[in-house]
Amino acid sequence: MSDDFILEIDNVTKEFPGVVALKDVSFNVKRGEIHGICGENGAGKSTLMKILSGVYTHDTYTGKILLNGEEIKFERGAIRQAIETGISIVYQELALNPFATVGANIFLGREPTRFGDVINWNRLYSRTREILKTYGLDIPFAETVGNLGVGKQQMVEIAKALSEDAKVLILDEPTSALNEFEVDTLHSILRTLKEKGVTCLYISHKLEEFFQITDTVTIFRDGQHVDTVPTQDTNTDKLIAMMVGREMTERFPARSVEIGESVLSVKDYRVASTEHVDKMLIENVSFDLRRGEILGIAGLMGSGRTELVTSLFGELGKKVSGTITLKGKELEIRSARDAMNNRIGLVPEDRKSLGLILEQSILKNIALPNMNKFSSFMRIDKNKELHESRKFAQSLRIKAPNLLVPVNKLSGGNQQKVVISKWLMTQPDVLILDDPTRGIDVGAKYEIYKLMNELVEQGVSIIMISSELEEVLGMSDRIMVMCAGRSTGILPVSEATQEKIMSLATNAA
């Protein structure tokens, strides 16, 4: 044992039915470092984090884990036990009570009391303020959590972990729902934590983040530990090569498409909220989408990107004025069914709640909206269903023992691939993708880009919202930038730069 290591992971193996999620994994984490963890979807990252944080008890895996040189063995109901030994995890799906205040959430179940069982609110809030101040967390301590944006909610989760005296803080894809500014804030919080001696494990699919924030990076592939290296001794290309097990020479596949006539034309489009008719969600947006074109939509979270496409798809708000013309015909889209009947498809941002039936198999999830393809005279052609679904599952490299596995058994990124497959199979004329590669590993991103290229080559038109500027620049023909429910500019990709987009996104132009 070395004193330098806070965590020693020794030969850990964990199996699920039909899947070896972790195979003989061994590596160490130095005290006080920010330790990045990368690997493709299904590589086993979250599984290891769940072992460390007591979600999986010690009898469900083999191998040893030492914390400060002592073996930890979490028993049933172990999350509490893990927290008490100093390991806390901040999940991607935040687990806060939206109706309670910041302070109440931080001390949930451990409220300071007076006279036995009366909550001492003064004490609770003064301790909340203390924690927020110590770690430089800028959140209103008495605000109701539901009124805070995702970035602040995540800070509350972090504050909660710190209030329990976390020595090791695990962040599983903490930035996937944050905008660029929130990512910066999170990173400066992590630097403060590091100064105070907290060790962080940091999972992300955005590789540049490892170079911004981590001291060390561990790479996983297929449940195995590939290497643990000082961040300064590696680079993006090397990380990718270790993650996917081969060299990847280009991030964005080339395409050759003749861009045609305008297919979808949106003019002076204004949308109000259905509940509050005077609340405008979208103001005067106009754009054209041409045949074979990829139109990127960039903007910060909350800029109205998702609202725009969801309303075009008939699922949000009320159109107040403006027109939507598809192939020369003016449309009124009142529901998703209207949109789909007009061959408009949408892969939603919140795929967990909108896109999947979690208890159902991969096969059913992909095939269900495509039943018309597989059935004739009320009979389902099971072979065709399986064959077609498998084609998509394979080309997106969905990692699962077979297609009958329920989707809730898949890793986060693999669940997203299922939703994307299902929509690609409907063969729409206009396909809207809302942040399609969020949480998806580099290898699979490339496969999705290739599929997008194939679609536009076949004459489909694509609208792609993306939070990654590199991706918008790498994949779009033109880029529309949004800010506060408005379009602040449309740039051909040849004229677009990260700086121009950011300045339009913050409306500083």
Ligand X SMILES: Nc1ncnc2c1ncn2[C@@H]1O[C@H](COP(=O)(O)OP(=O)(O)OP(=O)(O)O)[C@@H](O)[C@H]1O
Closer by beta carbon to Mg ion, 37 or else 473: 37
Taking only Cα atoms into account, the Rg of the chain, rounded to an integer number of angstroms, comes to: 24
Q: How many Cβ atoms are within 10 Å of 330's Cβ, its own excluded?
A: 10
Residues 378-417 within binding reach of ligand X (CB under 6 A): 399, 409-414
Name the minimum Å distance from CB 414 to ligand X: 6
46 in contact with Mg ion (CB under 5 A): yes
Closer by beta carbon to ligand X, 370 or else 414: 414
Q: How many residues bind ligand X (CB under 6 A)?
A: 18
Name the minimum Å distance from CB 212 to ligand X: 19
Closer by beta carbon to ligand X, 149 or else 443: 443
| Contacting range for ligand X; rule: CB under 6 A; set: 37-45, 174-182, 270-278, 330-338 | 37-45
63 close to 93: Cβ distance less than 8 angstroms: no
| Contacting range for ligand X; rule: CB under 6 A; set: 35-43, 228-236, 327-335, 445-453 | 35-43
| Contacting range for Mg ion; rule: CB under 5 A; set: 39-47, 99-107, 361-369, 418-426 | 39-47
Triad 400, 403, 409: Cα angle to 5°? 50
Name the minimum Å distance from CB 37 to ligand X: 9
Q: Which of 292, 412, 428, 489 binds Mg ion (CB under 5 A)?
A: 412
86 in contact with Mg ion (CB under 5 A): no
436 in contact with ligand X (CB under 6 A): no
Name the minimum Å distance from CB 42 to Mg ion: 8
176 in contact with Mg ion (CB under 5 A): no
Closer by beta carbon to ligand X, 370 or else 411: 411
488 in contact with Mg ion (CB under 5 A): no
Q: Where are the beta strands (DSSP E) in 348-471?
A: 375-376, 379-380, 430-434, 461-465
Q: Which residue type does 89 have?
A: I
487 close to 286: Cβ distance less than 8 angstroms: yes
Residues in the chain, total: 509
> Which partner from the list ligand X, Mg ion, none does 409 bind, CB cut-off 5 to 8 Å by kind?
ligand X
Residue 496 zone, left/alpha/beta (φ > 0; ψ -120 to 50; rest): beta
Residue nearest to Mg ion as judged by C-beta position = 46
Which of 254, 12, 99, 272 lies closest to 108 in space, CA to CA? 99
Residue 241 CA to residue 246 CA, distance in Å, equals 5
Q: How far is CA 184 from CA 93, 106, 136, in A?
A: 20, 23, 13
**Buried (b) or exposed (e) across 418-427, using 16+ Cβ within 10 A?**
bbbbbbbbee
**Which residue bears the tokens 């599952």?**
393
**Which residue bears the tokens 């399609």?**
436
For residue 74, what are its two tokens? 């979490």
Residue 265 CA to residue 261 CA, distance in Å, equals 11
103 in contact with Mg ion (CB under 5 A): no
H/E element holding 415? helix 412-425
317 in contact with ligand X (CB under 6 A): no
Closer by beta carbon to Mg ion, 33 or else 172: 172
19 in contact with ligand X (CB under 6 A): yes
Name the minimum Å distance from CB 438 to Mg ion: 13
CA atoms within 13 A on the CB side of 288: 11
436 in contact with Mg ion (CB under 5 A): no
Which of 30, 69, 25, 31 lies closest to 51 in space, CA to CA? 25
Give me the residues paired with residue 455 across strands.
Answer: none
Closer by beta carbon to ligand X, 375 or else 402: 402
Closer by beta carbon to Mg ion, 389 or else 411: 411
Name the minimum Å distance from CB 63 to ligand X: 15
Binding positions for Mg ion, rule: CB under 5 A: 46, 412
Binding positions for ligand X, rule: CB under 6 A: 16, 19, 21, 39, 41-47, 399, 409-414
